[in-house]
Structure 1
Amino acid sequence: MSVTLDGVMQAPGRSDEDVRGGFTHGGWAVPFNDAVMAQKMGVGMAQTGAMLFGRRTYEDFIGAWAHRTDGNPFTEMMNNVQKYVASSTLAEPLPWMNSTLLAGDAADAVAGLKKEEGRDIAVIGSGDLVRSLAARALVDQYTLLIHPLVLGSGRRLFPDGAPPASLHLIDSVATGTGVIIATYTAG
C-alpha cells in the first residue's frame, strides 16, 4: 500500500485514478519508483497466492494489466494469479481471467478464504476494503510504501475515527528515492 507521510493513499498511480472529493494530486507515487522498490515488490508478489480487490481497484487494474504486452515483469503474475473481488455492484462472469466475485459480506467471505488459502492473500489499494477487514481483525500484515511527501488532503489508509491498532515492525528498507518500505504485523 503506497501512502504519503500524512497517510494519504488516494490515487498514487495516475492523475485521473481517483478524483473523489476533488482530489487533484493523483500520480504522486510515480516519481519515487526505483529498482529497490521493484525488487522488494517482486519478492512480495512471489509469496502471493491470491489477490483481493475492491471494485474500484479491480476495474482500474483490468485496464492497467489485463491486456498488457510490454514485458513488465509483474504482468504474468497479475494476470495468472487468482483474483477475488469484493463488490455489491459487479456480476459474474468477471472479465479478467482467474477472477471470482465474493458473495455476501466481504469480511465474512475473506474470513472463509483465510481458512482455505495456503499462501498469502494480498490486497493492493482498495482502502475501503482494507479498513473493513482491519475492523474485523482480518489483516495479518501491512506492507506500507511510505513516500517522503505530504499532500495535506486525500483519502487516508487510517482515517480519523479508525479503531486503535498496535503494529509490530518486522522488516524495513529504504529505496534510493527516499521511500521507506515497512512491513508490520497486526495485533
Structure 2
Amino acid sequence: MRNVTAGLFYSIDGVAEAPNEFQYDSFDAELGALLGATMADVDTVLMGRVGYEQWASYWPNATQDGDFAGFINNVPKFVASDTLSGPLAWSNATLIDGDLTSFVTDLKAQQGGTIAAMGGMSLVRQLLLAGLMDEMTLIIHPVIGGRGRHLFLPDDPRTRLVLKSSQQTSKGNIVATYAKRPD
C-alpha cells in the first residue's frame, strides 16, 4: 500500500498560507536536502483547486528553483475541485472525478511510490481527518506569521497525533513529522 504524505511550511503561530511572506532567510541547506530526499520517493501529487491555480500559473515558466520546477512540472498531479472542469492545462494534471476519499483510497491501493499532498491546506486537513494521511510534516519557521490562514479550523474534531520524528536545523527551523494516532 502506498503512503500519502504532506509537508507544510508553518509559522510558530500556526499560519500556513503564503509561506513566502514569512520564511525570510530561514530556509537553509538542511531543509533543501530534506525536501530533495522527500521528492525522490514521490511519484504522484494531490492538489487542491487554489494551490493548483497558483502553482499552474507559476511553475511551468519558473526561472528559479529548477530542481523543484522539473519535479512538479513532470509528476502526475491529481486535482480535487468542485469548481474546475477538465481537461486541465498544466502538464500531467488531471481533475479528480468523484469523491476525494474514494479516489485516494483507490490510489493508495495501486502500485507506486509516495503520494504527496501539495498546494492545498483544506486538502491536507481533509485527508488527515479522514485517516488517509500517513505522515504530515510541519516545517516550523522561527517567525510569527501574523495574518494568514491556519491549517486547522476551530470546529475541526479533536484528533490525536503521534510524533514520528523531529529535528532542528541550523537556522532554527523545527521539522516535525506526525501521523494520526491509531484509535
Q: Same fold (TM over 0.5)?
A: yes
Deviation of 1:124 after TM superposition, in Å, equals 2.2
Alignment partner, residue 4 of structure 2: none
Identical columns (%): 39
Alignment partner, residue 186 of structure 1: 180
- Paired residue secondary structure (1:176): coil
> 1:170, 1:39 → 2: CA distance?
19
Alignment partner, residue 24 of structure 1: none
**Does 2:121 match 1:127?**
yes
Distance 1:34 1:62, change over 3 A: same
> 2:123, 2:55 → 1: CA distance?
16
Q: Aligned letter for 2:131?
A: A
- Paired residue secondary structure (2:79): strand
**Is there any run of 5+ residues in structure 1 with no aligned partner, and where?**
14-26
Number of residue equivalences: 174
**Does 2:157 match 1:163?**
yes
**Does 2:13 match 1:6?**
yes
Deviation of 1:152 after TM superposition, in Å, equals 4.2
Deviation of 1:69 after TM superposition, in Å, equals 4.4
**Is there any run of 5+ residues in structure 2 with no aligned partner, and where?**
1-7
TM-score (normalised: structure 2): 0.87
> 2:63, 2:155 → 1: CA distance?
43
Deviation of 1:31 after TM superposition, in Å, equals 2.7
TM-score (normalised: structure 1): 0.85
Moved over 4 A (4+): none
Q: Aligned letter for 1:9?
A: A
Matches for 1:56-75 after TM superposition, within 5 Å: 56-70=50-64, 72-75=66-69
What do residues 94-152 of structure 1 show as CA deviations (whole Å, max 9, x unaligned)?
11111111012222222221122521111123111112222211111001101122234
Distance 1:4 1:122, change over 3 A: same
CA RMSD of aligned residues (A): 1.7
1:49/1:117 contact within 8 Å kept: no
Aligned equivalent of 1:93, options 87, 97, 104: 87
Q: Aligned letter for 1:144?
A: L
Alignment partner, residue 148 of structure 2: 154
Bigger relative contact order, structure 1 or 2, given CA contacts below 8 A and separation 6+? 2
